[in-house]
Structure 1
């Protein structure tokens, strides 16, 4: 007996979550990824994954609810762009998403922090400090194992570029893809999980069309993030709808590598660094913003500082803060992105910042002391996340531009969709969006096979 197959395009966390959900419902999966390895940007996520009302929160006596999470997300999205049904789907499914990762894939998400824009601690991560890798690699390993089993119901094809969506009578019925020099047609329901357009710096690309001023910035995204899913869905005879394509999140803290300061792709300085107590200082050593504000607020403050000639901006962590995110700091130091100073005097001598300024602006207003070691990095805003994308409903069905109704046979999940975050995404909600809508898309596609 042939098991009905669904085609998942993209092997990041959204695509992996959709694939596992389909398999749990005894459906067959063809997973296509244009890169030579799975994981996408998901493996690089460094802050964690949000959840409201989780077992980890209860163990730490943190009181939180999906309603409180909704309120924070809606405030971040802004009144003009808020889509209540999508935010409800994200927040009400957050605790079950965390439980699914922990129970099904044995992912440790026991460390819970409060990050910018959240009113309570709800961003979960593992003790290693690399939550994106911990979560995504667990799903990758299990899916790869399942694919290697006899009579497996999942096939993974890497270095496979999807050329177009196949359409019949207004419904999507499969894809045409190129792999190994051959063009192949595959039939079935389709889930697009292709990620963002945050590395689309081409002169006729999506960024150039909607946010041309961002072309001068660097990005934290891999070179695969060029808006492929959007283009595929927009090329249908009756195109898909899109929303919020001008809403692009510029993350405040990308590392400036002293060895290559002009690099177009930069390492992200995890939000967890500021959540742990990291300070942002201008060239004179003065603080200029509340470090755990929303990303858009911190970015605007940094851009003002740089525009006024008060840069570079430095991220400074004292001993206690660095200890909380030790694995991050050790990695950044090993890459030459962060420098460790013996104390404030050494920091002042090397940077030219007045020791008196450090004394008056830093040590006296924080728990830092003048004798403790400091971890310091130069940072700058970077293109990080695209809130815009394909228009979907709360069931992850892609909507038609003309009618606003679902396009039969087509779902989408992860950063390729728009409308979930409005003007600004909260830290910790990218991995959550991938898991929640990946699972929803998988359930929907499974139900219609």
Structure 2
């Protein structure tokens, strides 16, 4: 047998060594690039994905539905911000401190200062990011219930949730070089190695697959978890008979994933019932309702009972308005005069096209069809004008009277309202860096959460306009944290 020459062996060994080193360095280069796995394709998940990209990571976004957006696309009132450029253009003076004070008062005894401060301090920069990076129109500002200052932003077009979410979806789809979107993908478990979360296992197209990287849970809440033994039945069985505004994806999947590794859950009994969901005349008993945006009341809409009488300050906190509605004589109706309708023209056109809101030529036609005495409507309108003019004090404490003048002769938009399960304040326990905490209060390495999946930000009651804000603020925090060593 002929033996290889020493020079040939040396050359072969050198080639092998060079190949080994090349593979090793290539592997190290790949490993040195942060990788973030985002579970959930609503506004929180999309914000986390974009922020992870901004911080040098590659991203895989998984969503169990065939399309992205979640409940975020439905959000119709706006997004809160304190000290924004839009507020300044409108002459509105606001600060993060004032926003914090309103949020803490709404959260009451369950207020968590570190989370509220993260929400409110980041609000103005967050809105500016949406405007500057994605071209979202947030030029209009309104006051919603529980806010001492107008700070809820929206654009001149349709629902702000759709405007924001669709812009972020389009931008992420354009980043296919570093971001992969996988739909119809149901995450079934988290992967953990030496105490650190290192990825997820998921099912798609009948196969089980694995993706490795830091994990951000952004799966939304559990306001559609009506299953026997589900989170609603466990923590708020009294709400099982109410309809919901949530899509069928909102079943607490992320909460179960976090809990499977010892993640703590908090405030799980704190479920927000929104006072105004539309009753569809074609399907009044439907379990899922369209939300009647709080902005409808913010621009001057009135709530009246079956007798045409007001019974609450329309811009009180959501829990207060809900309680008043449940105590009032049904059916409850929302009325908008032409000025209020014009302020939310796109919204109203959409609701009318869906058959959820009807236009009447005057109050007499409303009275004829609904059975509300015309004299009662006249008395309500006259009294409301006196309160708006300051000649009398509103018995329900109302102080915001935009578009306050209602007359018998002008057209009215009318819709029937019902309270609806809307938002879950409880959820996964996180710190101000969006790290998921265990029962002992320590962070679970490699695991982060954002959006409605997290708990504790809103305490006992969420202010209108703070759900979209929470999604983007904590989505951005989680996206950034996922690329670091925290």
Q: In which range does the TM-score fall when normalised by the shorter chain?
A: over 0.9
Of the three residues 43, 54, 59, the one matched with 1:13 is 43
Within the alignment, does 1:383 sit opposite 2:421 as a pair?
Answer: yes
Matches within 5 A, 1:233-248: 233-236=258-261, 239-248=262-271
Report the 3-state secondary structure (helix = DSSP H, G, I; strand = E; otherwise coil) of the residue aligned with 1:442.
helix
> Does the CA contact (< 8 Å) of 2:378 and 2:407 recur in 1?
no
Runs of 4+ in 1 over 6 A off after TM superposition: none
> Does the CA contact (< 8 Å) of 1:45 and 1:431 recur in 2?
yes
> Does the CA contact (< 8 Å) of 1:116 and 1:427 recur in 2?
yes
Within the alignment, does 1:356 sit opposite 2:386 as a pair?
Answer: no
* CA distance in structure 2 between the partners assigned to 1:409 and 1:326 by the alignment: 45
2:7 is aligned to: none
Matches within 5 A, 1:182-221: 182-221=207-246
* CA distance in structure 1 between the partners assigned to 2:471 and 2:258 by the alignment: 19
Residue range with higher mean Cα deviation, 319-328 or 377-386: 319-328
Within the alignment, does 1:22 sit opposite 2:52 as a pair?
Answer: yes
1:419 is aligned to: 456
1:127 is aligned to: 156
Report the 3-state secondary structure (helix = DSSP H, G, I; strand = E; otherwise coil) of the residue aligned with 2:342.
helix
Of the three residues 243, 250, 259, the one matched with 1:225 is 250
Of the three residues 351, 364, 371, the one matched with 2:409 is 371
Q: Which runs of 5+ in 1 are unaligned?
A: none
Within the alignment, does 1:62 sit opposite 2:92 as a pair?
Answer: yes
The structure whose Rg is larger is 2
Report the 3-state secondary structure (helix = DSSP H, G, I; strand = E; otherwise coil) of the residue aligned with 2:320.
helix
Within the alignment, does 1:140 sit opposite 2:169 as a pair?
Answer: yes
**1:287 offset after TM fit, Å?**
0.2
* CA distance in structure 1 between the partners assigned to 2:64 and 2:198 by the alignment: 20
Under a length normalisation based on structure 2, what TM-score does the superposition of the two structures give?
A: 0.89
Q: Which runs of 5+ in 2 are unaligned?
A: 1-28, 386-404
> Does the CA contact (< 8 Å) of 2:336 and 2:414 recur in 1?
yes
* CA distance in structure 2 between the partners assigned to 1:145 and 1:295 by the alignment: 39
CA RMSD of aligned residues (A): 0.9
Could you give the per-residue CA deviations for residues 192-246 of structure 1, whole angstroms, max 9, x where no partner exists?
A: 000000000001100000000101000000000000000111112xx10110000
> Does the CA contact (< 8 Å) of 2:34 and 2:56 recur in 1?
no
* CA distance in structure 1 between the partners assigned to 2:140 and 2:34 by the alignment: 40
**1:448 offset after TM fit, Å?**
2.5
Aligned length: 437
2:351 is aligned to: 332
* CA distance in structure 2 between the partners assigned to 1:357 and 1:400 by the alignment: 57
2:18 is aligned to: none
2:397 is aligned to: none
Could you give the per-residue CA deviations for residues 354-405 of structure 1, whole angstroms, max 9, x where no partner exists?
A: 111111122442311111100000010000000000000000000001x211
2:466 is aligned to: 429
**1:173 offset after TM fit, Å?**
1.2
* CA distance in structure 2 between the partners assigned to 1:365 and 1:143 by the alignment: 48
Under a length normalisation based on structure 1, what TM-score does the superposition of the two structures give?
A: 0.96
Report the 3-state secondary structure (helix = DSSP H, G, I; strand = E; otherwise coil) of the residue aligned with 1:104.
helix
